[in-house]
Amino acid sequence: MNKALQIRWSGRAQRIFLVAIFALYAMLFLPFWKEMIMGFIFASACAPALRELRSRLASRNNNIAYGAVIASVAILIAIVGIAAFQIYSVTYEIVSSPEKLAGYNQQLTGLRDSLLGWINNQGFLAKFGTEQKINQAVLTVSESARTWALASASAFLSAAPEILMSFAIFLGAFAAFLVIGERTFSTAAQIFQLKPAAYKHFLKFEKICGISLGSVVIIGTAQSFLVTIGAYISGYTSVFPVFVLTFVFSLVPVLGAGLMGAVLAVISLLQGDYTGAIIMGVTATIAGVADNVLRPWFFSRAAKTNPIFSLISLFGGVAIFGFAGLFIAPVLEQLAMTYVLLDREQVAEEPAAPLMEAEIVEKAS
């Protein structure tokens, strides 16, 4: 057998063997594929900032860069941990203490009485039999809320160990991809014989992840802090649930973080707390304006998307990935839009095909 053919076959066999080993190894992580994807995307989002920080600290110990990232992640974990503990405590109280639900029903009844009092002051509204309709609505809402709260709380408590394990796996995947991400890509490029241009696409992917998740996390966190501070000043004591709900609403296009502030403003108004209603109204307005100021600034270098398509893609992401879809969907959308626009630009820049001789004669005649 030809020696060159032997070397070529040896290299091909080695690649097949490595791909098989890599595939078998990847199968070990299939039960946690959502957490692995989340960790990879978040690590890719942080990679450009880490690379920039390491270049600025080139003359010093590179561990400082990793230390800064670890400190930031630790602060984020602490915030998430405190919020999760508060939510767990409230959930446990709902399940173990029926009096807690009774207290919520009393608050709902107080809101109903405040609304009825306002309607009675408006003579023209009282003529339409509004009181009976509101009483029926409050009874329906309170019963539905009670059933939903008990079912959701029980499900959350049952799933708490699984949620904790998923979060730990996500953190491990995030740390691993952050440290060895480029090395892993280089190894994969050698195994699959990727072209040199593939690294440019990898860097572009990291940039898109950074822009997408940066806008989601930074803007959502800023809006959540703003609404939470306003709620605390207005007299609401359950600040961590307010923070979490505001952050979740901030991820949803069309709705936005201002929705939570608007709901609290209406509740304060019905309770007769006009000062709190004004504070929450102003807070909701500022949080809503932040979407129109900060988000365009973040996405000034990204592909423009349609809000309706963003909303549909977000729902699709949640349906496929669960809670992780709130973060994965914006990245996938930006990737799709970026490469669609890139393809359009390449087509537009291609020179027109030269005319055939017959076509030239036909046009001349």
296 inside domain: yes
- Total of domains in the chain: 2
* One-letter amino acid for residue 217 of the chain: V
- Residues 298 and 182 both lie in one domain: no
Q: Lowest mean pLDDT of 68-82, 281-295, 322-336, name the range.
A: 68-82
Residues 166, 207 share a domain: no
Contact 226, 242 (CB under 8 A): no
Cβ neighbors of 94 (< 8 A, separation 6 or more) are 100, 101, 149, 150, 153
Same domain for 205 and 85, yes or no, is no
What pLDDT shows up at residue 305? 66
- Phi first, then psi, for residue 354 (nearest 5°) are -65, 145
Both 218 and 85 in one domain: the answer is no
The Cα–Cα gap between 117 and 126 comes to 10
Same domain, 158 and 230: no
Q: Are residues 211 and 306 in the same domain?
A: yes
Question: pLDDT at position 279, please?
Answer: 92
Q: What is the DSSP string of 134-148?
A: HHHHHHHHHHHHHHH
Angle 113-115-118 (CA atoms, 0-180°, nearest 5)? 110
pLDDT-derived band at 1, boundaries 50, 70, 90: very low
Residues 268, 187, single domain; the answer is no
As a whole number of angstroms, the distance between CA 140 and CA 134 comes to: 10
Residue 306 lies in a domain: yes
On whether the CB atoms of residues 259 and 195 are closer than 8 A, the answer is no
Alpha carbon distance 96, 94 (integer Å): 6
Answer yes or no: are the C-beta atoms of 287 and 281 closer than 8 Å: no
34 and 93 share one domain: yes
Domain range for 325 is 199-341
297, two tokens: 């600034």
230 CB burial (10 A radius; 0-12, 13-18, 19+): buried
pLDDT band at 330 (very low <50, low <70, confident <90, very high): confident
* Of 146 and 222, the one with more pLDDT: 222
Quick one: 323 and 212 in the same domain? yes
State the average pLDDT over residues 301-308: 63
210 and 262 belong to one structural domain: yes
Claim to verify: residue 159 and residue 224 sit in the same structural domain: no
Asked whether the predicted pLDDT for residue 345 surpasses 60, the reply is no
**CB 331, CB 44: distance < 8 Å:** no
Residues 247 and 167 in one domain: no
